[in-house]
Structure 1
């Protein structure tokens, strides 16, 4: 069994993709209380450590697992590079990019994967990445940082991310970007992603109907080697969380109803989903330290309301058994901050092959993608 460490793990989008690829994480590190709790709940066989990586050295992490890590993955906070933020180059969170690669240098894994926002490659930011990469030993082969879109890997949302992949060529078969790009498939549209979900209501838990939509069956696959949080058992009975409704006034509902699919509502500036296309990137909003601002949620393509937590999770590629938080605000923030699990799985399957993980271990479920590519 390989040893995978997920840094800045959030609620577990990257961990989920890794587990699907036959690389279940043994250690996940996350500072946020609620995200760490969600990760621990969804990956009970993974040790989730609530630690501040700006203050913890690699020695402290090494005490939490055994042997040399096979793979270190993670997505350091990206607000200082994001196109939707202030793009403040002096944002102290930018230092965590440097910290990620310092930990990689100290842990000496066989391979590593860092994901971040495309703005990291801009002229104003690229020097920060170059400086951070200088911390990694020259023995590593580092692939050219590349921007890829989750929608190009069968996801139901457009979400561009930059990938930085490195590996020790003395211990790992060559990892190529071509092997990742070969896994690109047609995107999923919103209607396919939300199939079978009921309207939100007063209760957070609702009963969903089992349907034969390939995307839904694909995201709801069982997950080996991570344990059962109890949500999976509930899903077998059709019980799923994340359906607490958001209250809207009659005036707001009227404005939402009058907004065409694929258009922006003029007063709220909320975007209405187009059922025949992937969704726009779901945003996270800000944490308590930045004012607790909630990012605008998209309007459902049929109902005059914003989408529910479970609908956001489906769009982002999380299975119906995946739990978040009992409040909508924290749940939407986790989803908006997460790596798309389907995208992560496709990327990490290519890496898993180079690490020597067999196809049986990495669960080959490509039938959905083959179907999607012909639709």
Structure 2
């Protein structure tokens, strides 16, 4: 008989080998505050999405660097229509195609993506929104930050496609580290590139995924720009740090040691000896001294640490003596169980670790709806009447 996960903490004896570390929240609080105050641009506005509903209009979008489809999934949840996607990874593209069969997919290098030619194949529907996340390997603080990594310039290809399609709004996400690369010159270059193609109203804010109900600490830099000289709407945070959803809220009903391959509930197999070593790792501690970011035990009763694949070295379960499964990772990213990842277990973990949390993308979509609807109705001048939070109030709420 399968044993289900207990919500009771393990015995004190289990974690006596190493001193327990304190949980860290709000990794980018200082930078986040600066973007809301001293670095605040005149275009950003925060919208209360608590009672927001889906739009009666049909909004089409394209997802660049779409990966498995986290951003697409979130926007589909608010009834946006995925017209096309671009992805260079065959396995991630296969996952995207499986979960969004009605979207047109371009598998290949974005440098070879001819957006006009591609849209002609789907009868040139109007594109209201372009979203995406250029690769962040050179930006991330999780690994070596290489300012000269050629992948850092892929955002220029994102800009090129936007200039060809000319959507109303653009949303580009990345790791917060992109904002401090080369002493802020990367951020400045992104702003200048958008301005050069007519998207002079551009904003960037760090949104904490956990503040929108994602059971994971995952701050993201969200760039929003438009070509209609309007404000850039962001979803107002819904939860205070003390209200963040704990890891148990997402994974407590999955079998402890019985895999379910059909929904990607699989994990790296461990020998009995290896499991005994894992048993000695306290919350916040790592199994290895030289790979501190891998095989790190999650904190019980807290949101998940930022999940990543780490070549099979995922985080250790908060209570069990194994690493978390691909499906547990997906739930911590807010993917529904109906969203199935193609490929091997490790490939699934890689896709999940690189994805945008669908719930965060959903909230971003809800924030955009009032502005998109006003444009559709020709009432852009009335947008200033939409309720918004003051910058002082917002800064206080976020910290």
TM-score, normalised relative to structure 2:
0.73
Residue 316 (structure 2) pairs with residue 299 (structure 1): yes
The answer on whether the counterparts of 2:203 and 2:225 sit within 8 Å (CA) in structure 1 is: no
The answer on whether the counterparts of 1:200 and 1:308 sit within 8 Å (CA) in structure 2 is: no
- The equivalent of 1:255 in structure 2 is 277
- The equivalent of 1:181 in structure 2 is 236
User: Which of 339, 353, 373 is the matching residue for 1:322?
Assistant: 339
> Do the aligned partners of residues 357 and 151 (structure 1) sit closer, same or farther apart at CA in structure 2, a change above 3 Å counting?
farther
After TM superposition, give the deviation of residue 132 of structure 1 in Å: 3.6
After TM superposition, give the deviation of residue 245 of structure 1 in Å: 4.2
Tell me the alpha carbon deviations over residues 42-81 of structure 1, each in whole angstroms, 9 at most, x when there is no partner: 1112122213112223333333442331000000101111
Residue 157 (structure 2) pairs with residue 99 (structure 1): yes
After TM superposition, give the deviation of residue 349 of structure 1 in Å: 0.9
Tell me the alpha carbon deviations over residues 260-315 of structure 1, each in whole angstroms, 9 at most, x when there is no partner: 23433345642111220011111144xxxxxxxx0521111221101111111111
Residue 328 (structure 2) pairs with residue 332 (structure 1): no
* Distance across 1 between alignment mates of 2:79 and 2:369: 7
Matches within 5 A, 1:31-46: 31-46=88-103
User: Which of 202, 208, 212 is the matching residue for 1:149?
Assistant: 208
* Distance across 2 between alignment mates of 1:101 and 1:125: 22
After TM superposition, give the deviation of residue 188 of structure 1 in Å: 1.1
User: Which of 152, 156, 164 is the matching residue for 2:223?
Assistant: 164
> Do the aligned partners of residues 32 and 200 (structure 1) sit closer, same or farther apart at CA in structure 2, a change above 3 Å counting?
farther
- The equivalent of 2:364 in structure 1 is 347
Name the SS of the counterpart of 2:203 in structure 1: coil
* Distance across 2 between alignment mates of 1:326 and 1:58: 28
Tell me the alpha carbon deviations over residues 2-42 of structure 1, each in whole angstroms, 9 at most, x when there is no partner: 21110000000000111112213111111100000000001
Radius of gyration: which is bigger?
A: 2
The answer on whether the counterparts of 1:9 and 1:28 sit within 8 Å (CA) in structure 2 is: yes
- The equivalent of 1:88 in structure 2 is 146
After TM superposition, give the deviation of residue 204 of structure 1 in Å: 1.5
- The equivalent of 2:304 in structure 1 is 279
User: Which of 103, 111, 114 is the matching residue for 1:57?
Assistant: 114
Residue 135 (structure 2) pairs with residue 77 (structure 1): yes
Unaligned runs of 5+ in 1: 206-240, 286-293, 359-375
Name the SS of the counterpart of 2:151 in structure 1: helix
* Distance across 2 between alignment mates of 1:182 and 1:194: 23
The count of residues paired between Structure 1 and Structure 2 equals 311
Residue 61 (structure 2) pairs with residue 4 (structure 1): yes
Unaligned runs of 5+ in 2: 1-57, 376-399
After TM superposition, give the deviation of residue 131 of structure 1 in Å: 2.5
* Distance across 1 between alignment mates of 2:322 and 2:333: 19
